[in-house]
Structure 1
Amino acid sequence: MRQINPRNIAPPVGAYSHGMEVRGGGQWLHVAGQIGVAADGELCEGFEAQVRQAWANLMVVLADAGMDASHLVKVNSFLVDAAHLPLLGPVRQGFLGTARPASTLLVVQALARPQWLFEVDAVAFKPD
């Protein structure tokens, strides 16, 4: 995989890449939206706790497929309140480490259930 960050456009405004190039054979994984629900089925209380749990859930799915954050190609994050944006970055960075997948962040009116404050989905690739 190769990060694509052309010099003739502005650099990414955060910890992501404008594009991720994948060549050759390997294993693709499309991860459904992960929310702040713990393994016991309980929704975490508050935005930051939901973000932390959603990212932890994403990492568990990756691990189950034999992958980690370095295999992420694309990440989409959805939050329902722009005021929470400053809380998102540090949690996200803690899970991504040095990985810089292509990323999209959307502030949306609502998620599928009103108590959900954050959701993240992803695409990952592991070369052969």
Structure 2
Amino acid sequence: MTKNIRHNPAGMAPPTQNLYSHGVEVPDGARRLYVAGQVGVRPDGTLPDTLEGQTEQMMENFRMILASAGMEFSDVVKITAYCLKAEDIITYAGLRNRYFDGNPPATTAVVVAGLALADWKIEADLVAARPA
């Protein structure tokens, strides 16, 4: 099975603290999964009070969606996170990277004025590709 290939060219600055990949190439014939924005809502509908709790639950929600498609975090090629404060990006990235086991996807993190519900502290969406 051909794998997704991460691209971090030697001729440019490396990804900040190796927290992401500059690009990820998906081989021909790979199955693709586009995951809608996820937040840290638990299966019972409750929401953790902290950014850390919401981020961990959001990542677990991603895990469940990936598994339902027969995929894993190693298949994630792009993730975009929406944070309320710039300092939240470091907290999010540290928790997120525990799930990628040294194979970080291409990543974008954006600071926004607010999310759809006032209690949400973070939201992210992702794209995954499983090589045939």
After superposition, residues 1-128 of structure 1 pair within 5 angstroms as 1-13=4-16, 14-128=18-132
State whether residues 72 and 99 of structure 1, in contact with CA within 8 Å, keep that contact through their aligned partners in structure 2.
Answer: no
Q: Compared with structure 1, are the counterparts of its residues 19 and 80 closer, same or farther at alpha carbon in structure 2 (3 Å cutoff)?
A: same
Contiguous gaps of at least 5 residues in structure 1:
none
Shift of 1:51: 0.6
More divergent stretch after superposition (31-40 vs 88-97): 88-97
| TM-score, L = length of structure 2 | 0.91
RMSD: 1.1
Shift of 1:89: 2.5
For residue 53 of structure 1, what is the amino acid of its counterpart? Q
C-alpha distance after superposition, 1:20-46 (max 9, x if no partner):
111210210000111010001111111
What CA distance in whole angstroms lies between the structure 1 residues aligned with 2:33 and 2:64?
13
What CA distance in whole angstroms lies between the structure 1 residues aligned with 2:57 and 2:41?
7
State whether residues 55 and 120 of structure 1, in contact with CA within 8 Å, keep that contact through their aligned partners in structure 2.
Answer: no
Runs of 4 or more, structure 1, over 3 Å off, are none
Shift of 1:81: 1.7
SS in 1 for 2:99: helix
C-alpha distance after superposition, 1:62-117 (max 9, x if no partner):
01100001000100011112232332232111112222210001111111111110
What CA distance in whole angstroms lies between the structure 2 residues aligned with 1:91 and 1:4?
23
Q: Percent identity?
A: 38
Contiguous gaps of at least 5 residues in structure 2:
none
For residue 125 of structure 1, what is the amino acid of its counterpart? A
More divergent stretch after superposition (30-39 vs 10-19): 10-19
State whether residues 89 and 109 of structure 2, in contact with CA within 8 Å, keep that contact through their aligned partners in structure 1.
Answer: no
For residue 49 of structure 1, what is the amino acid of its counterpart? G
